[in-house]
Amino acid sequence: MAAKSRAELIRRYFAAYQAGERDVVAAVLMHDFTFTSPYDDAIDTATYFERCWPKGPVFRSMAIERICEENDAAFVLYRCETLDGKTFRNTELHLFAGDKLRAVEVYFGAAYRDGAFVPLPQST
């Protein structure tokens, strides 16, 4: 069986995330997977699921706008709309080992509610 493209793997990961299929996502993560965002510094799988995995539906929509692949890495730009009407765009760097996801680094974009910019809370 031919290896899946990084874009296919990312689309499957995003679809599972939106559908709340935690077991599908867990199956594609390396044993030493790390997740980094402006709020998290290379957290492990257990902490990722505890902090970042929604307890119920959160998004009205998640749309991948662009995926750029290079070797074992891919950037994905996506737009989300939450159930309460907030929209935002983020970029993520996905690092792979074979067909497994080794790491994700999230870079936050601007957020909007009803067309108005919503600033992120300032860190202290």
pLDDT tens column, 1-29: 345 789 999 999 999 998 889 999 999 99
Chain segment 34-45, per-residue pLDDT in tens: 999 999 999 999
Quick: pLDDT tens for 111-121.
898 889 988 77
Domain count along the chain: 1
Residue 101 is part of a domain; what is its CATH number? 3.10.450.50
Is 56 among the domain residues? yes
Range of the domain at 33: 6-115
- pLDDT, mean of residues 92-120: 92
Distance CA 45, CA 73 (A): 19
* CB-count exposure of residue 1 (10 Å: 0-12, 13-18, 19+): exposed
In a domain, 1, yes or no: no
Residue 46 lies in a domain: yes
Residue 108, in any domain of the structure? yes
Give me 86's structure tokens: 């907030």
